[in-house]
């Protein structure tokens, strides 16, 4: 499957945001569509896809059952950086975006870039499906 347009979006985000360690897009059942990793961070993409999809599923269930609302994102803060996990759509299918940044990219900016990327990916899939 050709992911060239997705790669362009991710590269654009990485160039804008700086301090991005990993961007991973997977199916909701944990299979990787595409994964970007900076040279210094060698995350196993299959493991990241599985964990991301599990976390978003748990977060979605907790948000619905305990808060009676809709999930926006799951945020994990650590001493070395942040992980933002979002639902999106890609190629007509539900997808999970995982955005991991270093500590130099503050949480608000990490969320901003992750949300913008998720929105762009969702629009890309609609565009690609209508172009065929």
Q: What element of type H or E holds 85?
A: strand 81-90
Sheet holding 93-102, edge to edge: 32-37, 20-27, 93-102, 81-90, 74-78
SS3 content of the chain, % helix, strand, coil (to 5): 45, 30, 25
124 band by pLDDT with thresholds 50, 70 and 90: confident
Collapsing DSSP to helix, strand or coil, 107 comes out as helix
Q: What is the pLDDT of residues 2-34, one digit of tens each?
A: 788 999 999 999 999 989 999 999 999 999 999
What is the model's pTM?
0.89
- Average pLDDT, rounded, for the chain: 90
Q: Coil, strand or helix: which one is 22? A: strand
- Compute the distance between CA of residue 62 and CA of residue 102 in angstroms, rounded to an integer: 27
Confidence check: pLDDT of 76 > 80: yes
Q: Quick one: CATH architecture of 23-126?
A: 2-Layer Sandwich (3.30)
Question: In which residue are the tokens 């160039």 written?
Answer: 15
Over the stretch 106-120, which tens digit does the pLDDT of each residue have?
A: 999 999 999 999 999
- Choose between 4 and 57: higher pLDDT: 57
Domain boundaries, the chain: 23-126
What is the predicted pLDDT for the residue at 41? Answer: 57
Question: For the CA atoms of 56, 78, 46, 17, what is the dihedral angle to 10 degrees?
Answer: 90
């Amino acid at each position: 499957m050709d992911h060239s347009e997705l790669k362009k979006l991710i590269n654009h985000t990485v160039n804008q945001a700086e301090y991005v360690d990993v961007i991973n897009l997977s199916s909701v059942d944990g299979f990787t569509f595409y994964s970007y990793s900076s040279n210094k961070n060698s995350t196993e993409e299959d493991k990241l896809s599985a964990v991301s999809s599990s976390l978003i599923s748990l977060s979605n269930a907790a948000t619905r059952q305990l808060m009676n609302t809709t999930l926006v994102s799951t945020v994990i803060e650590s001493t070395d950086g942040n992980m933002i996990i979002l639902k999106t759509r890609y190629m007509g299918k539900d997808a999970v975006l995982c955005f991991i940044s270093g500590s130099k990219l503050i949480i608000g900016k990490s969320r901003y870039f992750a949300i913008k990327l998720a929105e762009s990916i969702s629009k890309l899939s609609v565009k690609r499906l209508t172009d065929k």
